[in-house]
């Protein structure tokens, strides 16, 4: 660990630390010191106080020089899946979340689909600490937010960041998926790859894009998990599995579901209103096979000036106590 | 200011009339012996009984001893240690000034000449009083001493002064706190062996009784400038008292070796204590 100094000129002041050792303060005039018994406790204390004074000055000076450890890259071995969180940020996500068909319209406690989605993502990310997470949101265009990282604070902050304001106009799942897939471009295959799509899914994808997505999913060997956020009065995904063929053209999420099922790559769908669904999603990811991967972790610059000031303050407090104990008149 | 009474233990060889017993014959009350009228032609002193007893039938006269005066000198230590801790109620310089005034007055009252030599590293010419019988000399000197903040780094000139006192046998008062090496004390006492010496040990009570508060005291030697920090606590206070007791014992031992009896003052100067030293059955000594 290399410590560097932002303001090395401050060391010009360092000789000041010698002052307490060289200069003596006022003292009681005593007739004859040779008469007084030698007292090693007093002598040790006197030296300790002088050194404390020197240390206090030195600490302040070093603090002024602002020592820091520069940003360094550290290789770490990690193990976990690569997960790209793909969050739908379209306006439809601002609408209320339909817990299940038949819930009363005027139920005031309903939250927006967006906030449900974020809560689910946050829980998911929090329970999968060893995985690498990337994140992007999509609407008309995909917006990359986060490259793969293992740092939970960053991930949680990224998830929470989009909770402000209203959603954007349109929903283009195809472009979003393509952008998510681009995360795996040139990435060595070291563990399971998952795209976790959180969406209400109301969009069609044109055949050309469908073909591209299918190809890329195969090439990159990516599994697609879809956490389906049900809209109010939407029929839902799974209960109508048999009916998908009939409703595919009229209900966009059924169309999407059918497309994903038919791709031939690993695909799972979960419905958000079911608390079990999230647990299952977490377990499913946990059951995947992962290889150790080397992660280059960047440790941020660290400032040590604070420590120096605290040390200087501690020594100064010692001196202050001694000051209160000082006797300035012999009798 | 009061007078104290001193006396000496030897017969003075001197012809100046005074208070003290002398070896010389002269007008006096003390009977010495008889002499022939031819040798001492003073008919007033004819002793008829002695004349009758004289086998040769010579006229006999009584011979008396004259009483004589002596020089009294005060060798005073004016080194910086005498001026330290002046915050004390009875600082050492004040005691020394009181003593000087009282001694000068007493010497005058007794009819003796009084002299003063102030010493630090050198014999101080400005604090030197040649033998004098002037009545107020001591008062002026005491005033000067009261105003003095001594700054001498040693009391080494005490030895010079002692060596310089080769005049007549004198009564020498050696006033100091004796905060100097015992070696110097030995030398001074040795040089003064011919005189009658009375060491006056002046200590400030404050020296050995620091404040009773627990705390840190930074102290400086008044003479060498050396520094020390003391963590004043009960145990250290006891050790300081012990150190002073040990010092007093060491001083007393040195004085006894030179057949000298000291007077200790650790408070105000007390004329009665001085009188008791000379006339008391057993003056308090160490």
Could you give the CA distance from residue B195 to residue B197 in angstroms, rounded to a whole number?
Answer: 6
Q: Does residue B250 sit in the same domain as residue B164? A: yes
Q: Does residue B90 sit in the same domain as residue B216? A: yes
Query: pLDDT confidence of A277, banded at 50, 70, 90?
Result: confident
Whether residue A330 lies inside any domain: the answer is: no
Out of A25, A28, A31, name the one closest to residue B217 (CB).
A28
The answer to whether the CB of B150 falls within 8 A of the CB of B222 is no
- Chain B residues lying within 8 Å of A45, measured CB to CB: 216, 229, 231
Whether residue A331 lies inside any domain: the answer is: no
The two three-digit tokens of residue B35, written as one number: 């002499």
Q: Does residue A205 sit in the same domain as residue A122? A: yes
The least confident of A4-8, A258-262, A291-295 is A291-295
Tens digit of each residue's pLDDT (9 = 90 or more) over A80-110: 788 888 888 777 777 777 655 444 555 555 6
**Measuring CA to CA, how many Å separate B23 from each of A4, B62, B66, B274?**
94, 16, 8, 26
Q: Does residue B192 sit in the same domain as residue B226? A: yes
Whether residue B4 lies inside any domain: the answer is: no
Which one of B5, B37, B68 terminates a domain?
Answer: B68
Q: Does residue B46 sit in the same domain as residue B166? A: no
Tens digit of each residue's pLDDT (9 = 90 or more) over A113-138: 777 778 878 888 888 777 888 888 88
The two three-digit tokens of residue B99, written as one number: 């003593």
Could you give the CA distance from residue B172 to residue B5 in angstroms, rounded to a whole number?
Answer: 15
Phi, psi of B79 (to 5 degrees): -75, 165
Q: Does residue B61 sit in the same domain as residue B181? A: no
Q: Does residue A136 sit in the same domain as residue A166? A: yes
Residue position matching structure tokens 């393509």 = A178
Could you give the CA distance from residue A190 to residue A188 in angstroms, rounded to a whole number?
Answer: 6
Give the DSSP letter of residue B267.
Answer: S
- Chain A residues lying within 8 Å of B178, measured CB to CB: none
Whether residue B2 lies inside any domain: the answer is: no
Whether residue B28 lies inside any domain: the answer is: yes
Query: pLDDT confidence of A163, banded at 50, 70, 90?
Result: low
CA-angle at A91, arms to A87 and A95, nearest 5°: 95
Out of B85, B227, B239, name the one closest to residue A330 (CB).
B85
Q: Does residue A128 sit in the same domain as residue A262? A: yes
Residue position matching structure tokens 């998830």 = A159
| pLDDT at residue A226, as a whole number | 84
Q: Does residue B94 sit in the same domain as residue B42? A: no
Which is nearest to A238 in space by CA: A277, A269, A210, A206?
A269
Q: Does residue A63 sit in the same domain as residue A182? A: no
B238 touches chain A (CB under 8 A): no
Could you give the CA distance from residue B186 to residue B190 in angstroms, rounded to a whole number?
Answer: 6
Q: Does residue A165 sit in the same domain as residue A178? A: yes
- Chain A residues lying within 8 Å of B120, measured CB to CB: none
Query: pLDDT confidence of A7, banded at 50, 70, 90?
Result: confident
Could you give the CA distance from residue B240 to residue A21 in angstroms, rounded to a whole number?
Answer: 27
The answer to whether the CB of B67 falls within 8 A of the CB of B18 is yes
CA-angle at B164, arms to B162 and B167, nearest 5°: 105
- Chain B residues lying within 8 Å of A42, measured CB to CB: 228-231, 236
| pLDDT at residue B286, as a whole number | 41
Q: Does residue B60 sit in the same domain as residue B82? A: no
Give the DSSP letter of residue A11.
Answer: G
CATH number, domain of B82, equals 3.40.50.410
Whether residue B188 lies inside any domain: the answer is: yes
Q: Does residue B105 sit in the same domain as residue B29? A: no
B220 touches chain A (CB under 8 A): yes
Residue position matching structure tokens 């009896």 = B261
Which one of B49, B68, B87 terminates a domain?
Answer: B68
Say if strands A193-199 and A3-5 run parallel, antiparallel, or are unpaired: unpaired
Q: Does residue A32 sit in the same domain as residue A98? A: no
Count of domains forming chain A: 2
Whether residue B106 lies inside any domain: the answer is: yes
Distance from CA of A36 to the nearest CA of B (A): 6
Whether residue A181 lies inside any domain: the answer is: yes
Q: Does residue A138 sit in the same domain as residue A208? A: yes
Looking at chain B, which residue has its C-alpha nearest residue A330? B210
Residue B232 domain boundaries:
71-279
Averages of pLDDT over runs of 10 residues in chain B (286 residues) are 89 87 86 90 91 92 92 92 69 91 94 93 91 89 89 89 87 93 93 93 84 86 86 90 92 93 89 88 51
The answer to whether the CB of A77 falls within 8 A of the CB of A292 is yes
Could you give the CA distance from residue B283 to residue B286 in angstroms, rounded to a whole number?
Answer: 10
A146 has a pLDDT exceeding 80: yes
Q: Does residue A99 sit in the same domain as residue A41? A: no
Alpha helices, DSSP H, located in chain A: 19-22, 40-64, 113-127, 152-161, 173-182, 207-220, 244-247, 252-261, 275-286, 305-325
Count of domains forming chain B: 2
Say if strands B227-232 and B215-221 run parallel, antiparallel, or are unpaired: antiparallel
CATH number, domain of A82, equals 3.40.50.410
Out of B88, B227, B230, name the one closest to residue A331 (CB).
B88
Tens digit of each residue's pLDDT (9 = 90 or more) over A238-253: 655 555 555 656 677 7
Which one of B68, B94, B111 terminates a domain?
Answer: B68
Looking at chain B, which residue has its C-alpha nearest residue A48? B229
Could you give the CA distance from residue B96 to residue A286 in angstroms, rounded to a whole number?
Answer: 98
Q: Do A45 and B229 touch (CB under 8 A)?
A: yes
Q: Does residue A142 sit in the same domain as residue A253? A: yes
Q: Does residue B89 sit in the same domain as residue B29? A: no
| pLDDT at residue B85, as a whole number | 77
Q: Does residue B258 sit in the same domain as residue B117? A: yes
Whether residue A172 lies inside any domain: the answer is: yes
Q: Do A31 and B87 touch (CB under 8 A)?
A: no
Q: Does residue A11 sit in the same domain as residue A125? A: no
The answer to whether the CB of A126 falls within 8 A of the CB of A158 is no
B222 touches chain A (CB under 8 A): yes
Q: Does residue A107 sit in the same domain as residue A210? A: yes
Residues sharing a CB contact under 8 Å with residue B237, sequence separation 6 or more, in sequence order? B209, B210, B212
Give the DSSP letter of residue B272.
Answer: H
Q: Does residue B207 sit in the same domain as residue B129? A: yes
B88 touches chain A (CB under 8 A): yes
Q: Does residue B159 sit in the same domain as residue B254? A: yes
| Count of residues in chain A | 331
Residue A310 domain boundaries:
3-70+300-325
Q: Do A35 and B221 touch (CB under 8 A)?
A: no
Could you give the CA distance from residue B286 to residue B268 in angstroms, rounded to a whole number?
Answer: 18
Which is nearest to A118 in space by CA: A157, A150, A154?
A157
Whether residue B11 lies inside any domain: the answer is: no
């Amino acid at each position: 660990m290399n410590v560097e100094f932002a303001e090395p000129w401050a060391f010009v002041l360092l000789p000041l630390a010698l002052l307490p050792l060289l200069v003596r303060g006022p003292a009681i005039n005593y007739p004859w010191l040779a008469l007084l018994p030698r007292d090693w406790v007093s002598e040790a204390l006197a030296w300790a106080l002088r050194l404390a004074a020197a240390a206090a000055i030195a600490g302040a000076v070093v603090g002024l020089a602002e020592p820091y450890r520069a940003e360094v890259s550290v290789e770490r071995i990690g193990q976990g899946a690569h997960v790209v969180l793909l969050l739908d940020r379209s306006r439809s996500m601002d609408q209320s979340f339909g817990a299940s068909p038949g819930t009363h319209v005027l139920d005031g406690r309903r939250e927006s689909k967006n906030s449900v989605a974020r809560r689910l993502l946050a829980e998911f990310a929090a329970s999968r600490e060893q995985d690498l997470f990337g994140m992007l949101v999509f609407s008309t265009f995909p917006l990359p937010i986060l490259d793969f990282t293992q740092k939970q604070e960053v991930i949680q902050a990224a998830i929470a960041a989009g909770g402000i304001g209203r959603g954007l106009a349109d929903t283009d799942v195809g472009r979003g998926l393509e952008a998510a897939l681009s995360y795996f471009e040139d990435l060595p295959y070291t563990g399971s790859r998952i795209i976790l799509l959180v969406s209400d899914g109301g969009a069609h994808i044109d055949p050309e894009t469908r073909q591209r997505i299918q190809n890329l999913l195969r090439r990159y060997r990516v599994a697609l998990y879809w956490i389906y956020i049900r809209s109010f009065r939407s029929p839902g995904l799974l209960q109508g599995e048999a009916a998908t063929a009939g409703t595919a053209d009229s209900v966009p999420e059924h169309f999407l579901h059918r497309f994903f099922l038919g791709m031939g790559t690993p695909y799972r769908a979960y419905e958000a209103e079911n608390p079990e669904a999230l647990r299952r999603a977490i377990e499913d990811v946990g059951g995947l096979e992962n290889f150790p991967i080397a992660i280059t972790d960047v440790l941020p610059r660290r400032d040590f000036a604070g420590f120096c000031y605290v040390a200087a303050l501690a020594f100064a407090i010692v001196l202050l106590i001694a000051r209160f104990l000082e006797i300035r008149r012999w009798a | 200011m009061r007078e104290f009474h001193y006396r000496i233990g030897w017969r003075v060889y001197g012809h100046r009339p005074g208070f003290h017993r002398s070896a010389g014959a002269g007008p006096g009350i003390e009977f010495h012996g008889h002499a022939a009228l031819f040798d001492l032609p003073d008919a007033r002193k004819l002793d008829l009984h002695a004349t009758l007893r004289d086998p040769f039938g010579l006229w006999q006269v009584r011979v008396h001893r004259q009483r004589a005066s002596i020089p009294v000198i005060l060798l005073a230590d004016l080194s910086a240690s005498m001026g330290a801790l002046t915050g004390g109620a009875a600082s050492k310089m004040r005691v020394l000034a009181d003593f000087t005034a009282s001694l000068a007055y007493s010497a005058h009252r007794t009819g003796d000449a009084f002299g003063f030599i102030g010493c630090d590293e050198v014999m101080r010419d400005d604090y030197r009083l040649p033998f004098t019988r002037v009545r107020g000399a001591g008062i002026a000197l005491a005033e000067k001493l009261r105003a003095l903040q001594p700054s001498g780094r040693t009391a080494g000139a005490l030895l010079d002064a002692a060596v310089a006192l080769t005049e007549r046998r004198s009564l020498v008062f050696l006033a100091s706190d004796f905060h100097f090496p015992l070696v110097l004390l030995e030398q001074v006492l040795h040089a003064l062996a011919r005189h009658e010496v009375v060491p006056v040990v002046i200590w400030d009570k404050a020296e050995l009784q620091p404040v009773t508060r627990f705390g840190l005291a930074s102290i400086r030697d008044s003479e060498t400038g050396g520094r020390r920090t003391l963590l004043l606590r009960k145990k250290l206070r006891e050790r300081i008292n012990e150190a002073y007791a040990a010092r007093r014992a060491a001083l007393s031992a040195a004085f006894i070796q030179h057949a000298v009896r000291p007077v200790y003052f650790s408070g105000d100067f007390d004329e009665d204590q001085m009188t008791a030293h000379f006339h008391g059955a057993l003056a308090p000594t160490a």
